[in-house]
């Protein structure tokens, strides 16, 4: 998937929030989007998810289905958890909506709330319904806006495993994170949104930094990336190596 020269402003007279953003989202990538409050992370995520259309530029090869979890789940809707999730799964064309809903209700600990109306849920539980709604169609692109903020601790702990399952199947996961809790997602590429642009890597003072490329066994990639992060390094990217040329 690719964003090509994507610019965005809210309304014709609005200021440009993003300017000429060109980025690749390779299959199997986890991308964590960093940036200060108001930098444009949510806007970028919504453009990637297709919730917003670029004012200029093109988004191409977006994998489908798309799972979109907004920063705040809009719980002011007259449905029960079960009713809402089943309708959403149907809308997304899920083959067996009941089975998909059962799976995610159980996995996210929503079983006691199946008959509860959305408006009566706590914020954390409502956020889990938002996550279940995005996961039920088995998304090839999952976009999570600030998942560490809205979700309760138990659900937060489930997120890295869920993300890993999607990227292992070649899906793409895009996560915004204004607190920089990137360490929770091993092997993630980081982008930083600032001043309308998107740069690769964390916004550490880049002066005097060096990029070291290392090759490790594919199975050890996530663990190595986590260990490097633990040691305080910024892991800029993890990719599959091309087959070796004979020398």
Ligand X SMILES: Nc1ncnc2c1ncn2[C@@H]1O[C@H](COP(=O)(O)OP(=O)(O)OP(=O)(O)O)[C@@H](O)[C@H]1O
Nearer to ligand X, 35 or 186 (CB): 35
Beta bridge partners of residue 24, listed in sequence order: 2
The single residue listed with the structure tokens 């530029």 is 57
Name the residue nearer to ligand X (CB basis): 35 or 187. Answer: 35
* Residue 143 Cβ vs ligand X, minimum distance, rounded to whole Å: 12
DSSP string across 61-94: ---SSEEEE-SS----SS-BHHHHHHHHHHHTT-
Nearer residue to ligand X within complex by CB, 46 or 80: 46
Name which of 17 and 163 has its Cβ closer to ligand X.
17
Peptide bond into 234 cis (omega under 30): no
- Please, what is the minimum distance in Å from the beta carbon of residue 106 to ligand X? 31
Nearer to ligand X among residue 41 and residue 92 (C-beta): 41
Minimum CB separation of residue 6 from ligand X in Å reads: 13
- Which of 89, 99, 98 shows the shortest CA–CA distance to 137? 89
By CB under 6 A, name the binding residues for ligand X.
10, 17, 35, 37-43, 178
Whether 190 and 202 have beta carbons less than 8 Å apart is answered as: yes
Q: Output the CA angle 180-29-107, nearest 5 degrees.
A: 75
Nearer to ligand X, 185 or 221 (CB): 185
Question: Residue 36 CB, nearest distance to ligand X (Å)?
Answer: 7
Q: How far is the CB of 223 from ligand X (least distance, A)?
A: 30
- Where do runs of H (alpha helix) occur along the chain? 41-49, 81-91, 97-107, 123-135, 147-150, 153-168, 221-230
CB 55 within 8 A of CB 20: no
Q: Which residue's CB is nearer to ligand X, number 40 or number 171? A: 40
Rounded to a whole number of angstroms, the minimum distance from the CB of residue 149 to ligand X is 9
**Please, are residues 187 and 224 in contact by the beta-carbon 8 Å criterion?**
no
> Among candidates 148, 152, 154, 153, which has minimal Cα distance to 179?
148
CB of 33 to ligand X, least distance (A): 8
């Amino acid at each position: 998937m690719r964003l090509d020269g994507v610019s965005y402003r809210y309304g014709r007279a609005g200021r440009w929030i993003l300017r000429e953003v060109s980025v690749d989202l390779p299959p199997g990538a986890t991308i964590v989007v960093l940036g200060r409050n108001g930098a444009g992370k949510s806007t970028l995520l919504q453009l990637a998810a297709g919730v917003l259309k670029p004012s200029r530029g093109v988004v191409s090869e977006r994998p489908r289905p798309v799972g979109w979890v907004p920063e705040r789940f809009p719980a002011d809707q007259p449905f029960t958890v079960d009713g809402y999730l089943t309708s959403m799964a149907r809308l997304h064309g899920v083959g067996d909506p009941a089975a998909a809903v059962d799976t995610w209700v159980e996995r996210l600990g929503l079983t006691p709330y199946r008959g509860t109306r959305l408006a009566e849920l706590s914020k954390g539980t409502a956020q889990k319904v938002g996550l279940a709604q995005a996961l039920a169609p088995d998304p090839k692109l999952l976009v999570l806006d600030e998942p560490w903020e809205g979700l309760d601790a138990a659900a937060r702990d489930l997120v890295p495993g869920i993300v890993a399952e999607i990227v292992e199947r070649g899906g793409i996961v895009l996560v915004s994170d204004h607190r920089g809790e990137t360490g929770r997602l091993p092997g993630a590429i980081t982008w930083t949104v600032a001043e309308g642009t998107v740069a690769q890597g964390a916004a550490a003072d880049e002066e005097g930094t060096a990029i070291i490329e290392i090759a490790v066994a594919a199975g050890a990639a996530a663990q190595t990336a986590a260990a490097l992060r633990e040691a305080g390094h910024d892991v800029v990217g993890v990719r599959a190596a091309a087959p070796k040329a004979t020398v």
